[in-house]
Amino acid sequence: MSELTHLDAKGQAHMVDVSAKSVTARTASASASITMQAATLKMIVEGRHAKGDVLATARIAGIQAAKRTPDLIPLCHPLMLSKVSVEFEPDTALPGIRVLVTCKLAGQTGVEMEALTGASVAALTLYDMCKAVDKTMLIGDIRVLTKQGGKSGDWVFDA
């Protein structure tokens, strides 16, 4: 196992120099889940208008947060995402909603932090919209699912 790259030789945080890394196409996908009462899930899923606006609001929040990652995560490099998508999958077994975010760019650093941040904020937005009816929700399963591009090549989370 190597060292923590975000600390310099003196153990101080810095934004690492990526200027020598090559620009390649990079994609990453990440997940999050929000567990809620079955009745809460039903409220989100049923009803045409409600569904549109609850999930659409969380989707926009996730896309915006992915773009704002370098402003939120101190040592992330600024980068220009060329694609962000946020998908929701209601899961009655959970019960709750699974969030899947995919980010893409041509750049010098990976985009897994952008995908993770988008998934987290999309889940937090669902929490916010449902908290008046359900006080015991739980957000979890925030992890990178796949990574493509860059020096380390393709990678798939093996649960």
The residues assigned a catalytic role are 128
- Alpha carbon of 97 to those of 54, 92, 108, 142: distances in Å? 12, 8, 33, 13
**Contacts of its own copies in 18-47 (CB under 8 A):** 18-19, 25, 37, 39-40, 43-44, 47
Number of shown-chain residues binding its own copies (CB under 8 A): 93
| Residue 95: DSSP 8-state | T
Q: How far is the CB of 124 from its own copies (least distance, A)?
A: 6
Residue of 89, 92, 131, 154 interacting with its own copies (CB under 8 A): 131
Q: How many CB atoms lie within 10 A of CB 35?
A: 18
151 binds its own copies (CB under 8 A): no
Q: How far apart are CA 157 and CA 11, in angstroms?
A: 29
Q: How far is the CB of 29 from its own copies (least distance, A)?
A: 13
Structure-token pair, residue 146: 């796949």
Nearer to its own copies, 17 or 93 (CB): 17
Q: How many CB atoms lie within 10 A of CB 96?
A: 27
Residue of 29, 36, 41, 59 interacting with its own copies (CB under 8 A): 59
